[in-house]
Amino acid sequence: MAARGQLTTRAAMASISMALFLLVAKAWAVLATGSVAMLGSLADTALDLVASIITLLGVRWAAMPADDEHRFGHGKAEALAALVQVVLISISALAIAWRAIDRFGSKQGTTGFESGAAVSVVAMVATFALLAYQRYVIRRTGSVAIATDNVHYQSDLFLNLSVIAALALDQLFGWKEADPVFGLIIAAWLLYGAWNAASHSVDQLMDREWPDERRDTLLALIRAYPGAEGVHELRTRTSGGHDFVQFHLSLDPAQRLDQVHRAMDELEAAIHRDFPGVDILIHPDPIGLVEPGQEDVTR
C-alpha cells in the first residue's frame, strides 16, 4: 500500500504542476484573444488547480494506515476528494454557460487567433502527457480520485479543440456566434463528465458490490475449495485501494475447531492468490444452516 500511496501522490503532484503551467498560459491567451471559449478554458484550468490540490490531500489521506478510530483504513477519502472535484467542475460549467449566454447577441468578436491557437496546442500536448501518466497510475492503483482527475483532463482536450474551432470560425469565417456556442458545448461536456465521475465516487461511499464478473470469479473460487459445501451472505466492497470480502461458508460440523481454522487459512490464501491484498472475513457454518433473511448463493 505504501507503493500505491507514492504513485497516487506523484500523479496528484503532476496534475498540480500541469494546472499551474496552463493557468499562466491561458491567462495570457484570454488577454490576447478576448474569447469566451478561452475564458471558459481558463476557468476550467483554475478549478483544475484547486481540484488537483484536493486530490493530493485526498490520496495522501487515503494512503494513511488504519488506526484505532478508522479500523477499515481511510480509503474513502479518495471518493470524498472526487466528489469535491465534481462540485467544482459543475460550478465551472455553470459559470461558462452563463458567460456564453451573456455573449449571445452582443456580436462581440475575438482577436489573436494565432496566440489562442498556439496556447491551445501547447496545452493539448502537455495534457496528453499527463493523461498517459495518470492512466498508468490508475491501472496500478485503481484510484477513484486520480480517475476523476483523469476525466477532467480528458475534457481539457475537448476544451482546447473547441477554443481553436471557435477562434477559427469567428476570425477566419466571420461567424461571431461560434465563440459562445462552443462555450455552451464546453459547459455541457463538463457537466457530463461531472455526472460520470460522481457515480463512481458514490458507488464507493455507498459500498456498492463488486462488478458481477469479478464477484462471480470470486464465488467460483470459493465454491471450488475442497470441503466447501455452500456459500451464503457473500458481501464485497471497495474503499479507495482496499477491497473487502466477507461471507459464510458451510462446512462439515464433525470437524474439530483446529481443522476449521486451518481450512479458513487455506481458503484465504487461495483467494489472495487471485485477489491480492483483499481483506477477508469468513464465518464458518455447519452444513445446511442458512438463517432466515440470509442470501444463499450455494449453487
Residue percentage of the chain with pLDDT more than 90: 7
Amino acid identity for residue 64 in this structure: M
Q: 287: closest CA among 237, 251, 254, 258?
A: 251
Q: 299: closest CA among 229, 251, 245, 248?
A: 229
Residue percentage of the chain with pLDDT more than 70: 86
Highest mean pLDDT among 45-49, 106-110, 164-168, 205-209: 205-209
The pLDDT of residue 299: 43
What does the block give as the cell for 256? 474439530
The pLDDT of residue 215: 92
Would you place residue 93 in the very low, low, confident or very high pLDDT band (cuts 50, 70, 90)? confident
Determine which of 128-142, 190-204, 212-226 has the lowest per-residue pLDDT on average: 190-204
Q: What is the mean pLDDT of residues 247-258?
A: 87
d(CA 116, CA 260): 70
d(CA 156, CA 92): 13
The pLDDT of residue 245: 92
pLDDT score of 295 more than 60: no
The pLDDT of residue 112: 58
The terminus-to-terminus CA distance of the chain in angstroms comes to 35
d(CA 298, CA 188): 47
Hey, which residues does 253 pair with through a beta bridge?
A: none
The pLDDT of residue 290: 59
Would you place residue 113 in the very low, low, confident or very high pLDDT band (cuts 50, 70, 90)? low
The pLDDT of residue 2: 61
Amino acid identity for residue 22 in this structure: L
pLDDT score of 110 more than 50: yes
* Residue 232, SS3 per DSSP: strand
List, in sequence order, the alpha helices (H) in the chain.
2-33, 36-62, 76-103, 113-141, 144-171, 178-205, 212-223, 257-274
pLDDT in tens, 188-197: 877 887 787 7
Contact in structure between 229 and 250 (CB atoms under 8 Å): yes
Would you place residue 247 in the very low, low, confident or very high pLDDT band (cuts 50, 70, 90)? very high
Determine how many CB atoms are found less than 10 A away from the CB of residue 29.
27
Place of cell 460440523: 253
- Which domains does the chain possess? 2-205 (1.20.1510.10), 212-286 (3.30.70.1350)
Cα-based torsion angle of the residue sequence 205, 194, 52, 157 in order, rounded to the nearest 10 degrees: 140
Q: Taking the complete model, does pTM exceed 0.75, yes or no? A: no
Contact in structure between 35 and 159 (CB atoms under 8 Å): no
Q: 94: closest CA among 21, 11, 194?
A: 194
Quick one: CA dihedral 299, 235, 238, 261, positive or negative?
A: negative
pLDDT score of 127 more than 80: yes
pLDDT score of 292 more than 60: no
Would you place residue 218 in the very low, low, confident or very high pLDDT band (cuts 50, 70, 90)? very high
Mean pLDDT of the chain: 79
Quick one: CA dihedral 106, 112, 113, 118, positive or negative?
A: negative
Highest mean pLDDT among 27-41, 125-139, 150-164, 179-193: 125-139
Would you place residue 105 in the very low, low, confident or very high pLDDT band (cuts 50, 70, 90)? low
Contact in structure between 214 and 234 (CB atoms under 8 Å): no
pLDDT in tens, 73-90: 777 777 787 788 788 778
HSE-CB for 212 with a 13 A CA cutoff: 0
